[in-house]
Amino acid sequence: MEKKPDHSRRKFLINTTLAATSMGLTSTLSTPLWASGQPKPMNHPADFDEGPVKAAFAEGDISPEIGMEQPGNYGKQYHQSFHDPCKVRIAAFQSGAGKALIISMDALAVYQPWVDEIKNHIQKRANIGVDEILIAASHSHSSGPTAMVQPGQYDHAPAFIQELAYEKSSCADPVYLEVVKKVTLNTALRALENLTEVKVGIGSGVEEKVAFNRRFVMKNGRTFTHPGQLNPDILRVAGPIDPDVGVIGTWDSEGKLLGCLVSYACHTTTNPGGISANWVYYMEQTIRGAFGQDCVVVFLQGASGDVTQVNNRNPDINPSGEDWARLVGASVGAEAVKTLLQIPKSERMKIRSHSTVLPLKRRMPTEAKVRESMKMVRNTPEQVGRTDWIFAKETVLLDSWGKQNPVHAVPLQVIQIGPAVLTANPAEFFCESGLEIKSKSTFPFTFPVTMANDCVGYVPTAEAFAPDGGGYETRLTSYSNLEVDAGTKIVASSLELIRKLDPDPLPQHPKAPPFRGDPWNYGNVPPETGRQ
């Protein structure tokens, strides 16, 4: 495809930095918000006045500038080209007094201080509670600089630690964050102002050929992440995938699909080349090809902490980034289209939400490990080996940050849309844990939403920390460091929230009338064999 720069978009990015200040969207990342996280009260009474379900969709451009940092690594790398727009994609729902605002960003991650800032500004400008707003990242590795080291995060630390954090690590860009906040606020308000009565359909398809668990039990008894294509030492895959393609579609009174939510569990790491929503772009294009170019597609990342597009047992050469993005996106999009075309719809559904905060301790490196790592990072990556240097740096940063913040207040949230529940957490959550929530949920449709409302890095299963476990996801870094049983606790707390909700019955297709009359007279004849 032709990759053209969008000059109007670039002008917008420049102008909106000043505009953000006038709207009150100033950065608060150096404030005590980093240490905040008191449980938010449940703000919903037991009963609501029900009404026809209303919905609206909107999207806004949050594409970064060429030259900005590209997230998804532990060091700095920079965008050099443009492929397709990164977006904030928003779905708004209302039934009676119940509302829900579901915001998905084409971003590697979102973080609680500025997520809460966005929610608070939306609450002030619109009649909606902060607990009714969900903000999640698609986890696109080809998106803008929202993630990893946050502005001001290491201002407490000595100069050498600040140098490691701000000059040697992947960092969020404060100017870009202001643009993201402003575009998100404006797009959210536009959606909330345009709520209209709709019919809603909920369903799930299956796509099991483009996502693969990347962890394998090896002959040495350990578990490796991405051991290498066709590695002969692979014994078996260490975890499952979740092939479900969950969809929530909304149709207007004329039968037009206004927008849809699509849930799928697969890392967005196909990287088609340049700034991009990743494979989500091709999913969107596929759905729009069937339903129209103004259909807004809101992607919700499932429990994909150990699931990517890479098939380590593929006997064939893997596709290029562009082809891989198209393969994953179009496959998931096609399954979403098939499901949307077949699901029954209803014009009355409950909209509910609950949230809580789960305090979880950090795993911290030993003092001996910190001393060893400090010696290593005072050398160059070339002297000690690039990989060893990177994770020594991460150990030093974790030691500095973790001593200041030994507990992370982990936000959990559930949002009900009729017979479906979105269960949100801020982790790169292992697929097995997401499947456990789904299997124990009281709802006919349960869609885990990860990388939501904050970022806590990888949360493996407890089994991944056993002697035969290991792999990349269990490494201690400044990004991933929650206690060993964090996954178990998140599952339990998420199920508690789900049980506070009462699912609606599933919508049904209109039933055909009983047979009356004669068969079709074109077809109720004996065979005519012709002249013998």
Q: What pLDDT does residue 45 have?
A: 41
The alpha carbon dihedral of 516, 521, 522, 527 has a sign of positive
What's the average model confidence in pLDDT over 213-229?
Answer: 98
Mean pLDDT of the chain: 92
The pTM assigned to this predicted structure is 0.90
Q: What pLDDT does residue 49 have?
A: 54
The rounded distance, in Å, linking the Cα atoms of 202 and 96 is 20
Q: Tens of pLDDT along 241-288?
A: 999 999 999 999 999 999 999 999 999 999 999 999 999 999 999 999
Q: Tens of pLDDT along 148-207?
A: 999 999 999 999 999 999 999 999 999 999 999 999 999 999 999 999 999 999 999 999
Q: What pLDDT does residue 94 have?
A: 98
Residue 380 CA: distances (Å) to CA of 300, 320, 399, 476: 40, 33, 20, 21
The one-letter amino acid code at 251 reads W
Q: What pLDDT does residue 532 have?
A: 76
Q: Is 177 helix (H, G, I), strand (E, B) or coil?
A: helix
CB 57, CB 91: distance < 8 Å: yes
Q: What pLDDT does residue 41 have?
A: 37
CB 136, CB 358: distance < 8 Å: no
Q: What pLDDT does residue 51 have?
A: 81
pLDDT for 32 beyond 90 = no
Q: Tens of pLDDT along 294-303?
A: 999 999 999 9
pLDDT for 419 beyond 50 = yes
Q: What pLDDT does residue 531 have?
A: 86
Pairing of strands 87-95, 420-424: unpaired
pLDDT for 9 beyond 90 = no
Instruction: Write out the H or E segment, with its range, that includes residue 428.
Output: strand 428-429
Q: What pLDDT does residue 46 have?
A: 42
